[in-house]
Every structure is written in structure tokens, then in C-alpha cells.
Amino acid sequence: MTRTLQRLDEMLTKAINGTFTEESYDETELSRLESKWKQYFTMSSMSMERTKAERENIQSMISDISHQMKTPLANIMLYSELLQEQTEGEQEKYLAEQIETYAKKLEFLTMALVKMSRLESDVFKICPSVQRVGSLLRQATEEILPRARQKEIQIEICGDIEGKANFDQKWTQEALYNILDNAVKYSPKGSRIEVEGISYEMYFCIAVKDQGIGIREEERAQIFSRFYRSDLVQQEEGIGIGLYLAREIVQREGGYIKVESKEGNGSIFKIFLQKE
């Protein structure tokens, strides 16, 4: 019995390390068990390889589609702009504006799908390093300012902006921008958004506080799902992928995102980045 358990332990250890091979034993039951283990791990390995190949094929297909769509979309937007300039009738101008609007939405959706696909398939590598957070806060805020100004929304950076954390500048800026974009999108005209840096012992927190519509309690766990959109915001632009990407990026850096909100009383999104 002891010998059987020892052999089973050896088999599992080798299986975990990827070095398991079937061997010959006099014990009939143990030999049958070892043969079944071999079959199981062979099938598991084949299944993993098929899954990996399917993901690579999907990623390649999405990249090919996005590449093929770039030129037609660019032409559609160009011609819609020319139509707006050359038409005199209000109805014709309106239709040309609608064409441009939906072409831009399609372009945004295509780029979002490409980012999501490449991130999930590890085509894009996230390379965090310890650096100051101030540059991240300023660049993400500057990127969202044009949209904020359209709604006369003020954005203020406060708190600890000299602290350091372990993050990838490009991708974390993308994550923070997505959260700021939602804050601007769902906040009323003339309101205020606060971006605060808070240093803790193990994490650095970036808190984005808005005065928007808030989030219902039952929806807080769903807002980070792919393509999820509340029925309260169906009329707003967007496809429900920004928060999903933000969470994926931060988690790959070893951090996490929390949200505090009450319907009608704004929201606070907190990004926690590891310090080391």
C-alpha cells in the first residue's frame, strides 16, 4: 500500500512537471492506473493545444478583419465629411453626419475588439516597472480633457502624486482613461471629477470620484463584464468594453479595481497598483 501511494505521488509530481511517462510494473492494478493516467494527460495536453490553436486563429482572424476594414472606414468618413461640406439641405447634412457618426462607432468597436483579442491572447505584453504615478495621472487626464470640456466638466488631480508604483505606463494609462471616460460620459454638465493619489503600505491607489448617475448595487459585479451595459445608459455611446479592459490590465499587473457607488450619488473607482 505504501509503495502504491509513493508511486502515485511520483506520477502526479511528474505530471505536474510535464515529464510523466508510462512505465512497466508487475502490479497489475497499478499498471492499469498508470496507463489511464497516461491517457488522461495525453488527452488533456491535446485539448490544451487545440484550445491554444483556436485562440490564435480567432486572434488572427480579428486582426485580419480589422486590417481589411481600415481603408473602407477611412473612405466612408472622408466622403461623409465631403458630403457635409457640399450639401446645402438640412436633411442631407443630417444624413451625412449620421453616416460619419456610425462609421466612427464602427471604427471604435473594431479597435476595441483588436485590443481585447490581443490582450487575452498575450500578443500585447504588459511590462510593469516601478515608477512615479504623477506622469500617469497627468497624461490620462490630459487625454480626456477635450471630452470633459465639451460638457464643461472640471477634472482635478489631488493627493499624493509623487508616489511610486509598479505598472506599465502605456497600458495603465489606457485603463485609467477608460475609467475617466466613463466618469465624463455619465456625469452631468458642469460637474466635477476628482483624481486622487493615495499611498498605502503595499499598494498605491488611484481614486476617480465623479458626480454622475451612480451604479445600482445589483449591477456593481456586472459592470466589469465584456459588453455589459446597464439599461440606464443604453442611449449613451459605448459598447461596454472599457471597464472590462481596465480590470484585465490592472489584474495582469498584480493589482485590482474596486468601486463604491450609490444610484444617483456618483461613483468612486479605485485602482490599486502594487508598489513593488
Q: What is the DSSP string of 13-44?
A: HHHHHT-------S-HHHHHHHHHHHHHHHHH
Higher-pLDDT residue of 207 and 262 is 207
Query: Is the model's pLDDT at 152 over the cut of 80?
Result: yes
pLDDT of residue 25: 45
> What are the residues facing 205 on neighbouring strands?
198, 272
Give ∠ CA 150-154-160 in degrees, rounded to 5.
Answer: 140
Does 159 score more than 80 pLDDT?
A: yes
Give tens-digit pLDDT for 56-95: 676 666 666 666 777 777 788 787 888 788 877 888 888 8
* More confident site: 89 or 200: 200
Which three cell numbers, joined as nine digits, stand for 142?
490630459
- What is the arithmetic mean of pLDDT over 135-157? 94
Q: Is the pLDDT of residue 1 over 60?
A: no
Contact 97, 103 (CB under 8 A): no
| Ordered domains of the chain (ranges, CATH) | 1-124 (1.10.287), 129-274 (3.30.565.10)
Q: Supply angle C-alpha 85, 90, 94, rounded to 5.
A: 75
Q: What global pTM score does this model have?
A: 0.66
User: Per-residue confidence at 23, pLDDT binned at 50, 70, 90?
Assistant: low
Report pLDDT digits (tens) over 184-193: 998 999 999 9
pLDDT at 173 over 80: yes
For residue 209, pLDDT over 60 is answered with: yes
Grid coordinates in use for 11? 506520477
DSSP string of 143-212, one letter each residue: HHHHHHHHTT-EEEEEE--S-EEEE-HHHHHHHHHHHHHHHHHTSPTT-EEEEEEEE-SSEEEEEEE--S
- Residues belonging to the chain: 276
Q: How far is CA 224 from the centre of its chain?
A: 9
Q: Report residue 241's pLDDT band, with 50, 70 and 90 as the boundaries.
A: confident
How do beta strands 164-167 and 129-132 pair? Answer: antiparallel
Residue indicated by cell numbers 506520477: 11
For residue 30, the model assigns a pLDDT of 59
How far apart (Å, rounded) are the C-alpha atoms in residues 93 and 56? 43
* Average pLDDT estimate for 113-121: 68
* Local confidence band at 27 (pLDDT 50, 70, 90 cut-offs): low
* The most confident of 12-26, 209-223, 262-276, by mean pLDDT: 262-276
Residue 13 is placed in which grid cell? 509530481
